Structure 1
Amino acid sequence: MKKSLLLILSAFLLIAILAGCSSNNGGKLDKFTVVYLPQESDEQAQELNKDFEDKLSEKLGVPVESIKANSYNAAIEAMKNGKADYAMFGPFSYIVAVDRAKVEPVAEITIPSMANGPASVIFVPKDSPIQTVADLKGKTFGFVDPVSTTGHLLPKYTIVNELGISVDELDSFFKDVQFAGGHDKAIIGAARGQYDAAASSPMVINMMEEKGVIEKGSLRVIAESESLPGTAIGIRGDLPDDVKTKVKEFLLSYDNAEYFSMLGMTGAKFVEANDSNYDHLRQIAKDLKLSSDELLQ
């Protein structure tokens, strides 16, 4: 009963926060709101995000504020309802945001050195007897979030392809499937034995090892996905064109190596966005029978 009450109160708190974050007043932009998605963060990350917001505020000539969403769903709904203006999306959450919230791409983040590397990995504790995807039958598995590219869409696609089974057959393949709620939670869950296996971005695993959140080498990769287009930067589609232009100009000229390293994207940069880069992921989502209506219920 106490747990249920806490969940209800948390939901009302998030709604109250988002309800107070409208960026428009009678059609005039009086502030610009960035919504951050679930991820592992620390004091340095907060400082770098604040510096980013301050510089963006100077470019736009209005205050830039930020809110944190407890899920990709909440972030997308915030943009749909006009309570947030900008978010950094994984490719899959981006295409859902375009579909559900009329988000437009304003830039992408690319990492040249990782352009051809796996975007997602499936991993187990280092001493696990599990060696292959087939060995996951009857095991517990931790995905990140229903709308996560590297924590749900790609690893599920990888599993289906490696096993040669249908999406419907996958439902009975695992003993139990859970959504951890964040890349860091999925990684820690596998490291601590909460899940027999989990999936995430390899960049986040490396970042957490470097920060000492998990022991280096405590996880072992058993499968890798294909590479992906860059991380999409989405902006609310109904914002004034001059605001979109200023945000785009700011991003394409933004050069802060520490900021990208904090994101686990060493060597990354903002580049021009291209929505067609995500068409392959749209097809994968269709193949996996993952629609935005189902994911954001």
Structure 2
Amino acid sequence: MHRRNFVLGTAAVLSLSPVAAFAQAKDPVKLRVALLPDENASTLIQQAQPLKDYLEKTLGKQIELVVTTDYSSMIEAMRFGRIEIAYFGPFSYVLAKSRAPGIEPFAVGVEKGSPTYQSILIASADGPVKSIEDIRGKPFGFGDQASTSSHLAPRAHLLKKYKLEGNKDYKVVHLGTHDAVARAVQAGQIPAGALSEQIYRALIARKTIDETKLIKLDLSEPIPNYPITMQGDLAPALKEKIRAAFLDVKDPAVLKSFRVEAFAPTDDKAYDILRETAKILNLDLGKMS
């Protein structure tokens, strides 16, 4: 069942019909900016306050930060014009683009000089999984079904490099968010799992998880980083201001919201590799939600 309710700040948004949303979307007084729901919603909102302040000052608009209940509801919100700007995961962007062809990716996060990142595969330090081969026959934890680094990339990595096929050689278990995967593995509720290495390091830095209770099994191949997208039917001048606001941002506090050091230009073709990965896993983009 699709969950369409928003966690924070969206009661008024949900009252809008798709037609009404698109009708006022050209140059709205308020811009709704959706953050990827890959961690606890209140944590994300709190961390993104510098972003809100920066965008309000730079764009001269009211900014509402939105966190949806899951990736599917974020995709649907973008599809029906209930948000103007969205920070998608790479694969959730591909899914969103398949449903809302008019959305435009325009900026991508750069970390350590590269517009790519990796997924980390981890296991409980005192659990039964000490190597990738030990995953065979056991549950393996992923995040949201539409997550790149907590589902698509590590699942493809297990298949391509180790010939381990989900729900055949091991049991696929979806836990929702990246931090939920890390916590479940640390607690021994599931022997192994995968999440974004960036988020994994952030969770350790915040002492949300204890690195000594976990072991690193492997890293995935590099993944195109998270894109910033906007509705294609916004006024051209506004679109240019939004694009410049992200590409020109230098404030470390703002960039910290995205776990990146800068933003670089991007376009839809940069994510074709994820469409190919979905084919390898026999995932039907039209049926995923």
Tell me, yes or no, if the aligned pair for 1:122 and 1:224 is still in contact at 8 Å: yes
Q: Deviation at 1:252?
A: 1.2
Which of the numbers 184, 187, 195 marks the counterpart of 2:190? 195
Q: After superposition, what is the alpha-carbon deviation per residue over 1:130-178, rounded to whole angstroms, capped at 9, x for unaligned?
A: 222221122111111111110011111111113336xxx532222x322
Q: Deviation at 1:197?
A: 0.9
Q: After superposition, what is the alpha-carbon deviation per residue over 1:62-118, rounded to whole angstroms, capped at 9, x for unaligned?
A: 3111221111111110010110111111211111111112221121111135667x6
Q: Deviation at 1:188?
A: 0.6
Secondary structure of the corresponding residue to residue 249 of structure 1: helix
AA aligned opposite 1:109: G
Distance 1:51 1:84 in 2: 19
Give 2:262's aligned residue.
269
Taking a change above 3 Å as real, the CA distance of residues 32 and 125 of structure 1, as seen in their structure-2 partners, is: same
TM-score, normalised with respect to structure 1: 0.85
The aligned length equals 282
Q: Deviation at 1:24?
A: 5.2
Give 2:275's aligned residue.
282
Which of the numbers 169, 178, 184 marks the counterpart of 1:173? 169
Structure 2 residue 254 is the aligned partner of structure 1 residue 295: no
AA aligned opposite 2:229: G
Give 1:245's aligned residue.
240
Q: Deviation at 1:43?
A: 7.6
AA aligned opposite 1:248: R
Distance 1:60 1:23 in 2: 20
Question: Share of identical aligned residues, percent?
Answer: 27
Give 1:52's aligned residue.
51
Q: Deviation at 1:129?
A: 3.1
Q: After superposition, what is the alpha-carbon deviation per residue over 1:28-76, rounded to whole angstroms, capped at 9, x for unaligned?
A: 5232101122133598864552232232223333311122111111111
Q: Deviation at 1:257?
A: 1.3
Matching of residues 125-136 of structure 1 within 5 Å: 125-136=124-135
Distance 2:50 2:115 in 1: 28
Secondary structure of the corresponding residue to residue 55 of structure 2: helix
Taking a change above 3 Å as real, the CA distance of residues 112 and 274 of structure 1, as seen in their structure-2 partners, is: farther
Secondary structure of the corresponding residue to residue 65 of structure 2: strand
AA aligned opposite 2:201: N
Q: Deviation at 1:216?
A: 2.4
Q: After superposition, what is the alpha-carbon deviation per residue over 1:240-269, rounded to whole angstroms, capped at 9, x for unaligned?
A: 22221110011111111133334433xx10
Distance 1:244 1:262 in 2: 21
Taking a change above 3 Å as real, the CA distance of residues 291 and 133 of structure 1, as seen in their structure-2 partners, is: same
Structure 2 residue 139 is the aligned partner of structure 1 residue 106: no
Distance 1:251 1:232 in 2: 11
Q: Deviation at 1:204?
A: 1.1
Tell me, yes or no, if the aligned pair for 2:142 and 2:150 is still in contact at 8 Å: yes
Tell me, yes or no, if the aligned pair for 1:106 and 1:244 is still in contact at 8 Å: no
Tell me, yes or no, if the aligned pair for 1:80 and 1:101 is still in contact at 8 Å: yes
Secondary structure of the corresponding residue to residue 182 of structure 2: helix
Distance 2:23 2:49 in 1: 21
User: Which structure 2 residue ranges, 5 or more long, are not aligned?
Assistant: none
Matching of residues 27-176 of structure 1 within 5 Å: 28-40=27-39, 46-102=45-101, 103-113=103-113, 119-164=118-163, 170-174=166-170, 176=171
Distance 1:36 1:204 in 2: 14
Taking a change above 3 Å as real, the CA distance of residues 263 and 108 of structure 1, as seen in their structure-2 partners, is: closer
Q: Deviation at 1:18?
A: 4.2
Secondary structure of the corresponding residue to residue 32 of structure 2: strand
Distance 1:228 1:173 in 2: 24
Structure 1 or 2: larger helix share?
1
Tell me, yes or no, if the aligned pair for 1:23 and 1:32 is still in contact at 8 Å: no
Q: Which moved more, 1:41-50 or 1:273-282?
A: 41-50
Structure 2 residue 209 is the aligned partner of structure 1 residue 210: no
Q: Deviation at 1:11?
A: 5.4
Structure 2 residue 181 is the aligned partner of structure 1 residue 186: yes
